[in-house]
Amino acid sequence: MEDNVNMFEALYERAVDYVKTSFELNKLRAIEKTADVVSSFIPHIIVFVLISFFVLSLNLGLAFWLGELLDKVAYGFFIVAGFYCIAGLITHFFFHERLKRFFGNYVLKLLFK
């Protein structure tokens, strides 16, 4: 009887160790996947910021140039803002689902890589 109790205690301890080890392993895998996803986004964010500065400078120059042509600086800014308003509406109504699907698939591909 004593042997059965010791055997069950040993089995219980092994099961507890297995559960703890499995939990730690899954936690480390989740951390690895999260770090992989975040680290893959960082270069994209840096490029996005640099391109944003370029586009901002280009838009300011275009707005001032158009404003000079129209003899009112505000008109140049209104034209540039109108262009971006139309581009944003077109993107929202025609490409929203495609962009959402593209970025969702990109993140899933990184997670299940």
pLDDT digits (tens, 9 = 90+) for 65-96: 999 999 999 999 999 999 999 999 999 999 98
| CB-count burial class (<10 Å; 0-12, 13-18, 19+) for 80 | buried
Number of domains composing the chain: 1
| CB-count burial class (<10 Å; 0-12, 13-18, 19+) for 76 | buried
1 pLDDT more than 70:
no
Q: Could you list the residue range(s) of the whole structural domain that residue 54 is in?
A: 2-111
Q: Are 43 and 49 in contact (CB under 8 A)?
A: no
What is the pLDDT at residue 49? 95
Instruction: State the pTM of this model.
Output: 0.64
10 pLDDT more than 90:
no
pLDDT digits (tens, 9 = 90+) for 17-45: 999 999 999 999 989 888 888 888 889 89
Between CA 1 and CA 57 the distance in angstroms is 84
Q: What is the mean pLDDT of the chain?
A: 90
